A = this chain, B = another copy of it.
Amino acid sequence: MACCAHPDDAEILMGGTLAKYAERGDDVFIVVTTNGEVGHPTLPKHEIAAIRKEEAQRAAELIGAELIWLGFPDEFLFDREETRLSFINAIRKCRPDVILTHWPGDLYNPDHTLTGQIVNDVAIMTTVPNIVTDEPPCEKIPVVYFADSVAGVGFLPEEYVDITSTIGVKRRMLAEHKSQVSDWLSDQYGVTMDEMMTVSSQYRGFQAGVRYAEGFIRAKAWPRGVAGTLLP
């Protein structure tokens, strides 16, 4: 299960890994916490939100993943009771073994920081009977992994996933976000999203000794360590 702040974040930061889970036959969920409504230079908020939800839907379908849309206002996600309960309910819907989310240390955008922080904060709460949401409590505490930061700024991966076999579908997933891959972002930032994503995956691949990779850090908190396999 992926939990990201905006439509296209999951595709950029963990799309290759999600595709590998899907390939293996796992159920994959993509939770998007905000509605992405500020992500356009000219369209009004409600139109862009609707467009981006459809784009996210199409991207998810490429790997057979289910999209869950929490709909919080873009750029204005806050850590409140309703937010935590909404996150808990979404996780209970997915009953995940593993959650991939944003790294709270990324200074890029507060929706990223808070999405990552709240996912980690509520991981145990999803199993607690006395916290009531629409969905019943989870049986086990999911393991939380923090994904790379945007452009890798400040991030030192501790684990890598080889996505050489899924870089193609990752690029197609990203390409579904047509409203984002047009000219305005490359005007603003001097680089297309596809180029930035591909080069980032190559760079993490060099570090991991493969063609393409994605980097992660496991959330270090009791009792969510993972032991049982041998190294590496």
Using a CB–CB distance below 8 Å, which chain A residues touch chain B? 17, 20-21, 24, 37-42, 44-45, 48, 75-76, 78-81, 84, 98, 100, 106-110, 113, 120-121, 124-125, 127-131, 143, 145, 149-154, 156, 158-162, 188-191, 196, 199-200, 202-203, 205-211, 213, 216, 218-232
A16 to B157, CA, bound (A): 26
Q: Contact check, B78 vs A203: say whether CB atoms are below 8 A apart.
A: no
Q: Chain B nearest CB: distance from A34 CB in Å?
A: 12
A6 to B133, CA, bound (A): 22
Q: Contact check, B231 vs A216: say whether CB atoms are below 8 A apart.
A: yes
Of B37, B41, B199, B225, the contact of A209 (CB 8 Å cutoff): B225
> Would you give 9 A-B contacts (Cβ < 8 Å), ordered by A?
A17-B230, A98-B231, A152-B203, A152-B206, A161-B230, A190-B210, A207-B223, A208-B225, A210-B228
> Given A37-B130, A45-B130, A76-B84 in contact, is the A153-B227 Cβ separation under 8 Å?
no
Copies in the complex: 6
Query: Which of chain B's residues has its CB closest to A210's CB?
Result: B227
Of B24, B151, B159, B220, the contact of A107 (CB 8 Å cutoff): B220
A210 to B151, CA, bound (A): 12
A75 to B218, CA, bound (A): 22
Q: Contact check, A208 vs B231: say whether CB atoms are below 8 A apart.
A: no
Q: Contact check, A213 vs B227: say whether CB atoms are below 8 A apart.
A: yes
Q: Contact check, A206 vs B191: say whether CB atoms are below 8 A apart.
A: yes
Query: Which of chain B's residues has its CB closest to A228's CB?
Result: B162
